[in-house]
Amino acid sequence: MTEFDYDLFVIGAGSGGVRAARVAANTGAKVVIAEEFRVGGTCVIRGCVPKKLFVYASRFGKDFKDAKNYGWTVDEPSFDWPTLIANKDIEIDRLNAIYIKNLNASNVQILDTRAVVRGPHTVYLLNEDIEVTARTILIATGGAPFVPEFPGSDHAITSNEAFHLPALPQNMVIVGGGYIAVEFAGIFAGLGVEVTQLYRGEQILRGFDDDLRNNLYDEMVRRGIDIQLNSDVKEISLAGSGYRVDLANGDTVYTDLVMYATGRKPNTFNLGLEKTGVEIDRKGAVIVDEFSQTSIPSIYAVGDVTDRVNLTPVAIREGMAFVETVFKNNPTSVDYDDIATAVFSEPELGTVGLTEAQAREKYGDIDIYKSLFKPMKHTISGRDTKTLMKVIVDAGTDRVVGVHIMGPDSGEMAQVLGIAIKMRATKADFDATVALHPTASEELVTMRDKWQPPEAEVSQ
Ligand SMILES: Cc1cc2nc3c(=O)[nH]c(=O)nc-3n(C[C@H](O)[C@H](O)[C@H](O)COP(=O)(O)OP(=O)(O)OC[C@H]3O[C@@H](n4cnc5c(N)ncnc54)[C@H](O)[C@@H]3O)c2cc1C
């Protein structure tokens, strides 16, 4: 008889926890997973999946308009928010059921409860009011939206509530400049809401390549989103049936709804970690080594709760590496380089590798290939929009170290480009690839002239 109730106790049935639980159970381990909300976690229930469904919904409006010059007659389109919410919920329920089914099929026991760590091998189950023991505990509790405290901050909703609004507002304020704020600005604007986006920084999407940031800003403004940079919210108060938002610069915005997307916080509050001796950082993230092991050897952590790279495929990778390390005696760490990512803005961004600034700092001498053009589809539709393709090359080795795209399906392109970059493709490899015509991405293999900064930008 084993000295513990379980071989593995996973806290949190999101992307990282579910994958780790299933793969560990498939090795023959006795595994249990506790979930306090819904199996599937942020990505499935109130993150990537419902968001992408909203993105699809938001793009039809412009497609109807673009069809006109192609000969289509489309009656004045109208949009029904409750239909979208109902159908989105059906899809989320379906995915939730699949996740549960897959856990059952792998013989993972599911506990519908909040779990709290009570010791290196002990977990307390809130609903059952009992303690259980496990040889290994995996913290996979993810993160949650965070609204800073200021007068009236409790009036603001977050992305969690945005997925369940009873009705679409006529206008709204979205606060934040990260990818979630940018995506929701595009979603709501596409659905006909007048959107004001307030961001206290100099430009949206800090951390992304500057060309993507600047060009997406232009495109969002062209689509009617009122982006106010260098704007800090001082206070939110009730005004009639809506809100009054007072800014630090003295301006005031009246709006139906305020959504905050200024950041997320690791879910470690009241999780019992400090008492058990598990170290967390100032932001509340669990501190782990390259094998996701915490300061307590029997406790590991994966996914957003560790605040490394907060994306679903990364949480899944970390979960699988954890199982290799602990259950297959094969210490495995995750390679965080060149992770392709997308921003499902309008237009979309796809990116992989280093930004121009990062590449310049790392390699010094770099070559830039850049093309900003009107996509073929819009020569006839008449839409005023641009596509951007940018390739960054380490001049010393000819290796392509970054690719940044703004335009339709750029997320799909970035995923495939990620393979080439991971294989250390050179600019010569890109050039040797025959173009696929007519596509937007053929630009990536046909750009021959290095980009030269305009004369004014060249230092004298
Ligand atoms: C609006 C939005 C859009 C996003 N879009 C994308 C995207 O397009 N692409 C992408 O890759 N990523 C996206 N993400 C990020 C992605 O959702 C996360 O990186 C991913 O879900 C992290 O997985 P995880 O396993 O670490 O945690 P989560 O998926 O957050 O799962 C943690 C689970 O633990 C549960 N839990 C917490 N504490 C306890 C406890 N004490 N006891 C029991 N259960 C507990 C929670 O209820 C939750 O279900 C998005 C996130 C948001 C919010």
Residue with tokens 């999780």: 271
Please report the pLDDT score of residue 456 as a whole number: 59
pLDDT band for position 74 (50/70/90)? confident
Structure tokens at 139: 């913290």
Q: Which residue's alpha carbon is at the smallest distance from atom 34 of ligand 1?
A: 12
Looking at ligand 1, which residue's alpha carbon is closest to its atom 17?
43
Report in angstroms the alpha-carbon separations of 148 from 163, 237, 317, 428.
21, 15, 31, 49
Query: Does the pLDDT value for residue 460 go beyond 50?
Result: no
Which atom of ligand 1 is closest in space to residue 114's alpha carbon? 42
- Residue to mutate, 37, 38, 48, ligand 1, most ligand atoms under 8 Å from C-beta: 48
17 CB within 6 A, ligand 1: yes
Average pLDDT for 228-251:
97
User: 441 CA to middle of ligand 1, Å?
Assistant: 32
Q: Which residues are catalytic?
A: 437
Contact between 159 and 181 under an 8 Å Cβ cutoff? The reply is: no
pLDDT tens digits, one per residue of 99-158: 999 999 999 999 999 999 999 999 999 999 999 999 999 999 999 999 999 999 999 999
Candidates 55, 34, 7, 42; CA nearest to 315 is: 42
Read off the pLDDT of residues 196-214 as tens digits, 9 standing for 90 and up.
999 999 999 999 999 999 9
Answer for the pair 261, 184: CB distance below 8 angstroms, yes or no: yes
Choose the residue to mutate in 15, 35, 42 for probing ligand 1, maximizing ligand atoms within 8 Å of C-beta: 42
Q: Which atom of ligand 1 is nearest to the CA of 126?
A: 42
Q: Name, in order, each residue with C-beta under 8 angstroms of 103's C-beta and a sequence gap of 6 or more.
A: 13, 18, 21, 22, 33, 39, 110
pLDDT-derived band of residue 80, with 50, 70 and 90 as boundaries?
very high
Q: For CA atoms 324, 325, 327, 330, give the dihedral sign.
A: positive
Q: Is 34's C-beta closer than 6 angstroms to any atom of ligand 1?
A: yes
Rounded to an integer, the average pLDDT of 31-43 is 98
**What is the rounded distance in angstroms from the CA atom of residue 196 to the CA atom of residue 225?**
6
pLDDT in tens, 308-330: 999 999 999 999 999 999 999 99
Residue 142 alpha carbon to ligand 1 centre in Å: 5
What's the mean pLDDT when you consider all of the chain? Answer: 97
Q: Measured in angstroms, how far is the CA atom of residue 315 from the centroid of ligand 1?
A: 9
* Closest CA to ligand 1's atom 49: 41
Angle at 378 between CA 377 and CA 379, to 5 degrees: 95
pLDDT at 438 over 80: yes
Crossing angle of the two packed helices 48-66 and 179-190, in degrees rounded to 10: 40
Q: In a mutational test of the pocket of ligand 1, which residue from 117, 139, 141 has the highest number of ligand atoms less than 8 Å from its CB? A: 141
| C-alpha 41 – ligand 1 centre gap (Å) | 5
Please report the atom of ligand 1 found closest to the CA of residue 45. 49
Cβ(255)–Cβ(194) under 8 Å? Answer: no
Ligand 1 neighbour 48 (Cβ under 6 A): yes
